[in-house]
Structure 1
Amino acid sequence: MAGAQGSWTGGGLTVRELLRPKHAARAVFHPAWIPDSLDPAVEQLKKARLIAGTVAAVGVYTFVEGGFAFDEVLENMLTASAVLLFITPLTVAVMLSVWRRGGTVRALKVQLLNSLKLLLLFVGSVVVTVLLLQNASGFGLAVLPLGCAALWMVVFVARGAVHVSGNFFGTAGVHRCLPPLLATVTSWLMAIPDLVTGDLHGLSLMMGVVFILGAPVTVTGIALLEAQRLRRRYGIRLGAHPATLPRVPVPPPPMPPAPPGGAPCVPPQGNPPGSPYGGPYAPPRGNPYATPYPAPQGTPYPPPQGNPYGRPHGPGPNGR
């Protein structure tokens, strides 16, 4: 599968890593086209939002009641997947209608399709996992391979849920404020039906309100902090079309680690090897005006021999 910025897995997934559900979930549910976090503070807020969202998905009331039913967990997984499959495209469609004022939606087609693929992959993985867990024991001799496949899928989906809760199906590739918005909408949508129907799962009114509303309120607060930091530090606003947002500078790549037992990597100092000069500004060695070729034998214009002012040879004008 190809993404907006290259292959889906980045081209670094081997067959050996694919057999490990942790690595496979990382490659599938956090593909290479999802942009990295802008700064460590935003990443910490995402982790806090992930924890609060997990509490909202599992339900604190389950531990308070003391009744952990496995069949109920599987049903909740299917219900949560159906909610995600419905509410995520609906929320994105509402934001697309808002962004039409600042630009066209066609420019976001590739990012939107990639996010939809990621959503369908996760929902499909959840459905397959639930079916394997419910029906693995009814296949006779095939129960062993199906059981191994079911365990692999459980780890794969659990690890994938961590990734998609952080990037929320790659919607950060569309707009960096979409993940906190979708996390807020989803957590409230999962909590409001219990309040409306009065199904407090055996808890008193006060305890039911506290435990049911505690997670969505926490998710909303963290999401607001995340969106506020994106707006103040980077000028990224939720209501602005992604094409109109300021370009965020890409952080420089990290320095390579130092070799074990050696000094850290530093740029070379002085002149490169083989330089004819001793230093950066040292003059060349030897006499720069020396004759580059062997001197000719003899002198073409030798000086006169003897005293140039002496008496010339032969008799003078007076015959002496």
Structure 2
Amino acid sequence: MTRTHRSWTDGTLTARSFLKPHQVARAVFHPTWIPHSLDPTVDQLKRIRVIAGAVAALGVYSFVQGGFAFEEMLDNAATASAVLFFLTPVTVGVMLFVWRRGGTVRQLKVPLLNSLKLLLVFIGSVFTTVMLFSVGATFGMLPQLLLGLAGLWMAVFVMAGAFRLTGNFFGTAAVHRCLPPLLATVTTWLMALPDLITGDLHGLSLTLGIVFILGAPVTVTAISLLETRRLKHRYGIRLTAHPATLPPQFPAPPPYPPATPYHRGNPYAPRPNPYA
């Protein structure tokens, strides 16, 4: 891992960008130090994992039972953030213990600290959004309107950021390429664990309850296994290997269209008469 001195957003944010919270979220939650995907197949697998992870994080029950419930989605987002706050450092700590024979933690200090900053920024954004909607109801009309507008801006910002982070998982790919699929798998199963233990189907039938409780974690696990398998067999990146021992990782070059062969023509064809 080499040190880079580029800024977090690399100058992509302007004053006009803040009128579009999804652009701010893209710059903040997918900073320039996160490495690009190695090939298009890994990108496609990541997109499917993002969708399944979003279902697990925000919950699908509110869409099935009586329409969309915005407050329940906020509660689920806050719960998911609390889970991530404890789960992500613990999972990374376990992997650092596994990697201890191949290298040191000092070699990964910069990407680890960057990932921690990204985690804290996201969790702070989620709880700020929840607080804006909760506190707004206690004020008068004008403050409530202003806090509501700020809360809506933050809600779009957080949802766009969550979409980005479900793919890069707080930039942990800068530490190890296999960390994002591992963290996605662990997180979705932990989110589904309370329902599995209590048997709470949220008012759904047995079949729908099983589908919605197990669908997201099973899908995320399958996609993550395919992702790590491709990284291992195509690029030699193993989850149990310290990042310092892995081969250099370069994104695959973009496909180029086949070149048109140069046509020389028939050298024995009759030539035109220059005196005609």
Task: Settle same-fold status: TM greater than 0.5.
Answer: yes
CA deviations on 1:89-129 (whole Å, 9 max, x unpaired) are 11000000001011111100110000000000000000000
How far 1:59 sits from its partner (Å)?
2.6
CA deviations on 1:285-313 (whole Å, 9 max, x unpaired) are xxxxxxxxxxxxxxxxxxxxxxxxxxxxx
How far 1:192 sits from its partner (Å)?
1.2
TM-score (norm 2): 0.86
Q: Is the 8 A contact 1:168 1:183 kept in 2?
A: yes
Task: Describe the shift of the 1:71–1:242 C-alpha distance in structure 2 as closer, same or farther (beyond 3 A).
Answer: same
How far 1:68 sits from its partner (Å)?
4.2
Q: Is the 8 A contact 2:37 2:251 kept in 1?
A: no
CA deviations on 1:160-183 (whole Å, 9 max, x unpaired) are 001000100000000000000000
How far 1:191 sits from its partner (Å)?
0.5
How far 1:210 sits from its partner (Å)?
2.4
Higher relative CO (Cα under 8 Å, sequence separation at least 6) belongs to 2
CA distance in 1, matches of 2:22, 2:173: 22
Q: Does 1:171 align with 2:169?
A: no
CA distance in 1, matches of 2:149, 2:66: 29
CA deviations on 1:3-41 (whole Å, 9 max, x unpaired) are 845111112321211332111101110000000011111
Paired position in structure 2 for 1:54 = 54
TM-score (norm 1): 0.75
Task: Describe the shift of the 1:200–1:98 C-alpha distance in structure 2 as closer, same or farther (beyond 3 A).
Answer: same
How far 1:50 sits from its partner (Å)?
0.4
Q: Give the counterpart letter for 2:77 in structure 1.
A: M
Paired position in structure 2 for 1:109 = 109
Q: Give the counterpart letter for 1:59 in structure 2.
A: G
Q: Is the 8 A contact 1:22 1:156 kept in 2?
A: yes
Unaligned runs of 5+ in 1: 256-320
SS of the equivalent of 1:138 reads coil
Task: Describe the shift of the 1:61–1:144 C-alpha distance in structure 2 as closer, same or farther (beyond 3 A).
Answer: closer
Task: Describe the shift of the 1:247–1:66 C-alpha distance in structure 2 as closer, same or farther (beyond 3 A).
Answer: same
CA distance in 2, matches of 1:55, 1:180: 16
CA distance in 1, matches of 2:199, 2:253: 53
**Count, aligned residues:** 253
Task: Describe the shift of the 1:217–1:37 C-alpha distance in structure 2 as closer, same or farther (beyond 3 A).
Answer: same
More helix per residue: 2
CA deviations on 1:255-294 (whole Å, 9 max, x unpaired) are 9xxxxxxxxxxxxxxxxxxxxxxxxxxxxxxxxxxxxxxx
Paired position in structure 1 for 2:148 = 147
Q: Bigger CA drift: 144-153 or 67-76? A: 67-76
Q: Give the counterpart letter for 1:118 in structure 2.
A: L
Q: Give the counterpart letter for 1:237 in structure 2.
A: R
Q: Give the counterpart letter for 1:107 in structure 2.
A: Q
Q: Is the 8 A contact 2:133 2:151 kept in 1?
A: yes
Q: Is the 8 A contact 2:178 2:228 kept in 1?
A: yes
Q: Give the counterpart letter for 1:76 in structure 2.
A: N
Q: Is the 8 A contact 1:184 1:219 kept in 2?
A: yes
Task: Describe the shift of the 1:61–1:250 C-alpha distance in structure 2 as closer, same or farther (beyond 3 A).
Answer: closer
Q: Does 1:71 align with 2:33?
A: no
SS of the equivalent of 1:201 reads coil
Q: Give the counterpart letter for 1:227 in structure 2.
A: T
Q: Is the 8 A contact 1:21 1:155 kept in 2?
A: yes
Paired position in structure 2 for 1:157 = 158
Paired position in structure 1 for 2:41 = 41
Paired position in structure 1 for 2:91 = 91
Q: Is the 8 A contact 2:63 2:69 kept in 1?
A: no
CA distance in 2, matches of 1:46, 1:32: 18
Q: Is the 8 A contact 1:4 1:110 kept in 2?
A: no
Larger Rg: 1
CA deviations on 1:73-97 (whole Å, 9 max, x unpaired) are 2222211110010111110000000
Q: Is the 8 A contact 1:4 1:111 kept in 2?
A: no
CA distance in 2, matches of 1:64, 1:155: 22
CA distance in 1, matches of 2:137, 2:99: 50
CA distance in 2, matches of 1:175, 1:211: 31
Task: Describe the shift of the 1:14–1:253 C-alpha distance in structure 2 as closer, same or farther (beyond 3 A).
Answer: farther
